[in-house]
């Protein structure tokens, strides 16, 4: 299963850049929200990994799924973190960056909070969510698709 996260990471990078470009161009939130990397690492790619793993004959498919999903979520989330840094530096007005929605733009936000605390806490929450939700749904896919051992 080596290299299975390469193209999903390329897709995540494209989605991240597209969303920032659309947000900065003034697109409405309803359009911006279509380009959500969260959907990719919580739902879409864990299911993709599950199908690939189920068809690969891996000895420990569920562990493989959890590891692959966690790795992908961590790397994809690492690509999102610089957008929060830029939002803090330039005080971007998008709601997802506001303190009210768990972001880093607002009054009394310190550099430590903006550059380290909020991005790492958000990453931890989303990686865990990916493993629980994506890993759970992916495990169902593996169970259904994998042929029983003889």
Please check whether residue 50 lies inside any domain of the structure: yes
Please check whether residue 45 lies inside any domain of the structure: yes
Please check whether residue 1 lies inside any domain of the structure: no
Please check whether residue 123 lies inside any domain of the structure: yes
Q: How many domains does the chain divide into?
A: 1
Give the model confidence (pLDDT) of 14-60 as tens digits: 999 999 999 999 999 899 999 999 999 999 999 999 999 998 888 99
For the entire predicted model, the pTM comes to 0.92
Which whole number is the average pLDDT over 57-74? 95
Structure tokens at 28: 């409405």
Give the model confidence (pLDDT) of 76-129 as tens digits: 999 999 999 999 999 999 999 999 999 999 999 999 999 999 999 999 999 999
Please check whether residue 16 lies inside any domain of the structure: yes
First to last CA, the chain: 23
pLDDT at 150 over 60: no
Structure tokens at 68: 């692959």
pLDDT at 147 over 80: no
The pLDDT of residue 148: 64
CA distances for 139 relative to 27, 37, 128, 147, angstroms: 37, 21, 15, 14
Scan for tokens 């990994």, then name that residue. Answer: 49
Please check whether residue 150 lies inside any domain of the structure: no
The pLDDT of residue 57: 83
How far does Cα 131 stand from its chain's mean position?
11
The pLDDT of residue 65: 97
Give the model confidence (pLDDT) of 128-142 as tens digits: 999 999 999 999 999
Q: Which domain holds residue 131?
A: 6-145
């Amino acid at each position: 299963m080596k290299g299975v996260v390469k193209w999903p990471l390329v897709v995540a990078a494209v989605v991240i850049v597209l969303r920032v470009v659309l947000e900065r161009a003034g697109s409405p939130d309803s359009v911006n929200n279509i380009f959500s990397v969260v959907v990719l690492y919580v739902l879409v790619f864990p299911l993709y990994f599950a199908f690939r793993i189920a068809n690969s004959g891996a000895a420990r498919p569920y562990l493989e799924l959890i590891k692959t999903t966690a790795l992908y979520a961590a790397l994809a989330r690492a690509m999102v973190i610089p957008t929060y840094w830029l939002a803090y530096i330039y005080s971007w007005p998008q709601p997802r960056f506001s303190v009210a929605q768990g972001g880093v733009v607002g009054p009394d936000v310190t550099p430590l909070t903006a550059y380290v605390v909020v991005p790492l806490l958000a990453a931890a929450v989303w990686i865990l969510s990916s493993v629980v939700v994506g890993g759970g749904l992916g495990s169902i896919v593996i169970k259904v698709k994998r042929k029983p051992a003889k």
